[in-house]
């Protein structure tokens, strides 16, 4: 388990990363009541939130954004396993610090997350949705940057501001959109099917049939929800998994390429470089 805590501009930033070959449960509490936004990156850990004899579970956290209020009576359990690793960035602040936040962020918290600033329970949940590609890339940068000292802090400050800008922008869009819950569930199911079959994914037609829609609706609504076409999303996820296999599990480049469905090492290396800016041999 790797855990880093950084204090920036009346925010506390928590970076957590973990992988295991067995099963691991990591529990954590906050020392004081917080308003927080958790961004779940490349891992797909299970999450259980426990408070006052109640429990809320999330089984597929990859790409999820979860906002919440929690006091020191709330326990957060991450269930890490070989197939479900942890990569989580949490931005937290306290109610007393709301007015001190830079860039008008306190105003946006009051506007979009009113129920968290005025809580009525030990745990209050705000909006839960999937990250946009821009948010995903920003979160990813926190876990792969190699800066040190003051430059690292400059990097964190700028990226936290950018990440919150995208987050509040997403909330603003949601306020102006009537969401079809049934269709969102179908698109989320399509995402789960793709993530479970990175090495040998279904065709677009097969995927549409499995979630009960047609290919045209699938293409339009998948891109609307995730910001990229179906197979661009699939390619991104393949490369992220390959990166994790090379970095965290010490797989060879060829093993990583095969594990995510690439037959050609050259094609894999070129796609990897286009996404990350460097060759897999440089990880």
User: How do residues 52-103 score in pLDDT, each as one tens digit?
Assistant: 999 999 988 999 999 999 999 999 999 999 888 999 999 999 988 888 887 7
Beta strands per DSSP E along the chain: 2-8, 11-18, 23-28, 34-40, 46-51, 54-58, 64-70, 75-81, 86-93, 123-130
Separation of first and last alpha carbons in the chain = 20
Whether the pLDDT of residue 263 is over 50: the answer is yes
pLDDT band at 16 (very low <50, low <70, confident <90, very high): very high
Q: Which residue has the tokens 């600033």?
A: 117
Region 227-253: mean pLDDT is 87
Region 246-256: mean pLDDT is 87
User: In whole angstroms, what separates CA 122 from the centre of its chain?
Assistant: 24
* The two three-digit tokens of residue 282, written as one number: 């440089």
Q: What is the pLDDT of residue 261?
A: 85
Rounded to whole angstroms, how far apart are CA atoms 252 and 235? 19
* The two three-digit tokens of residue 224, written as one number: 């609307």
Q: How does 256-268 read in b/e, with b if 16+ C-beta sit within 10 Å? A: bbbbbbbeeeeeb
Closest CA to 93 of 34, 25, 52: 34
In contact, 19 and 83? CB cutoff 8 Å: no
- The number of beta carbons lying within 10 Å of the beta carbon of residue 120 is 7
Region 108-116: mean pLDDT is 89
């Amino acid at each position: 388990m790797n855990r880093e805590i950084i204090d920036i501009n009346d925010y506390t930033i928590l970076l957590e990363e973990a992988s295991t070959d067995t099963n691991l449960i990591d529990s954590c509490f906050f020392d004081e009541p917080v308003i927080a936004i958790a961004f779940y990156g490349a891992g797909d850990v299970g999450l259980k939130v426990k408070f006052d004899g109640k429990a809320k579970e999330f089984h597929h956290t990859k790409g999820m954004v979860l906002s919440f209020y929690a006091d020191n009576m709330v326990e957060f359990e991450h269930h890490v396993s070989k197939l479900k690793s942890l990569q989580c960035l949490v931005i937290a602040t306290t109610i007393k610090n709301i007015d001190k936040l830079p860039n008008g962020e306190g105003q946006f918290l009051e506007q979009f997350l009113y129920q968290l600033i005025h809580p009525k329970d030990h745990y209050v949940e705000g909006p839960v949705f999937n990250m946009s590609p821009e948010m995903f890339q920003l979160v990813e940068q926190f876990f792969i940057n190699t800066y040190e000292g003051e430059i690292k802090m400059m990097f964190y400050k700028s990226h936290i501001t950018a990440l919150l800008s995208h987050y509040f922008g997403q909330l603003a869009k949601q306020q102006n959109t009537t969401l079809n819950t049934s269709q969102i569930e179908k698109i989320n199911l399509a995402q789960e099917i793709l993530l479970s079959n990175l090495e040998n994914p279904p065709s677009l037609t097969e995927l549409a049939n499995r979630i009960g829609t047609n290919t045209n609706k699938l293409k339009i609504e998948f891109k609307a929800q995730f910001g990229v076409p179906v197979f661009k999303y699939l390619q991104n996820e393949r490369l992220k998994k390959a990166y994790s296999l090379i970095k965290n599990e010490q797989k060879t480049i060829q093993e990583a390429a095969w594990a995510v469905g690439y037959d050609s090492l050259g094609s894999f290396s070129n796609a990897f470089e286009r996404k990350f800016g460097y060759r897999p041999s440089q990880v």
